[in-house]
Amino acid sequence: MRKTLLLIVVTMSSHYLAIGQSTCTQTLRLAQSAYDQGRLQELPALIQNCLKNGFTNQERINAYKLLTLTYIYLEEPGKADEEMLNLLKADPYFKVNSAVDPAEFIALYRTFRTEPIYRLGVNIGVNTTQPNVTERITTNQGDSKYKNALGFQAGIVGEIPLTKKLTLNPGVLFQQKAFDLTNRVYRGLDEVTNVAVYNTTTAQEKQNWVTVPLSVQYILKDETNFIPYLSLGITPDLLLASNVTTETLQDNAGAVQQKTIEITRERFNISATASAGIKMRIFGGYMTAELKYLYGLTKVNSANTYYQNIEINFNNNVGDALFRLSSLSITAGYVQNIFKPKKLQVGK
């Protein structure tokens, strides 16, 4: 019995909802007809109830446009402004059509802020890092060679439009950077074979950073659905942790057990960045893809930190050098448009 009553209630609710929707659709048609016939005074009262509850979102947008036009022609600018603001809140992406919209409506539209005030989103990607050696500190006869390795990154990004062409692009990211190192140390001649023997150490260093990139994007081509851009910027970095995993192979003596050692690096770093990317319109924002090159302006280690890393430099024959870091990253993400339409002041 209860199931039957519930089914009846749901069915009746759906029925009345459909009737209400149908009625409001007819009401909007009547309002359009009244507007076309010049009976402007009737229009606000005609659609008031459906604006509160009954219109679909698109019907609501159409109703606000009708009301805006009505108050323009009734010479009630305050109410016209109010309805234009309602229209832009209902559809932040609304654009006038210069081919069909009245000149008065277009002129009023242009007195409102209709562009997003900022965008907020996330991105994720991979990077490859290569040390740029500036100086070597010799504590053994080895010669360290570096090779880039893969890391990852993710974070929050923002966009603040400055002009039609320029956008400020701040962010907060977590980055893991990694690179490989090989050091070969001459040990002398084998007593039996008289052949040179070496200790070969392989290592991978991983660094975890919090970075605060700040760049300015230059829009190359402002298309609705596809926007390519270039950008330049600067990135301050804060080091969270750094460690090295090492293993040494000794000729004629076997291998030294692999181990991971936490090491000391300079905690703060500054890098310059250059990037190229695209934004593709989807939903209420943009999918993004970007290729970025990062060039370290400061060294991530020093003579002071070098001698603090006794275990890797002296006991494991790593033969660390002084270097800056360069990285190349590829990221993908999404940024959501955030609108706040308002009436602009005269002259803005």
Query: pLDDT tens digits, residue range 295-342?
Result: 999 999 877 777 777 677 666 667 677 889 999 999 999 999 999 999
Residue 104: the pLDDT is: 95
Residue pLDDT, tens place only, 96-135:
999 999 999 999 999 999 999 999 999 999 999 999 988 7
- The answer regarding whether domain 118-338 maps to CATH 2.40.160.20 reads yes
Cβ-in-10-Å burial (0-12, 13-18, 19+) of 143 comes to middle
Q: What value does the mean pLDDT of the chain take? A: 87
Residue pLDDT, tens place only, 131-149:
998 877 655 555 678 899 9
pLDDT higher at 198 or 215: 215
Residue pLDDT, tens place only, 241-254:
999 998 888 877 77
**Read out DSSP for 69-135?**
HHHHHTT-HHHHHHHHHHHHHH-TT----TTTS-HHHHHHHTTEE-S-SEEEEEEEEEEEEEEEEEE
Could you name the CATH architecture of 2-113?
Alpha Horseshoe (1.25)
For the cut 60, the answer to whether the pLDDT of residue 2 exceeds it is no
Beta-carbon neighbour count of residue 274 at 10 Å? 14
For the cut 70, the answer to whether the pLDDT of residue 150 exceeds it is yes
How does residue 65 score in pLDDT terms, banded at 50, 70 and 90? very high
* Rounded CA Rg of the chain: 33
Question: Mean pLDDT across the stretch 195-207?
Answer: 86
Contact 28, 62 (CB under 8 A): yes
Residue 15: the pLDDT is: 39
Residue 319: the pLDDT is: 67
**CA 204 centroid distance within chain:** 29
User: Which range is most confident: 11-25, 56-70, 139-153?
Assistant: 56-70
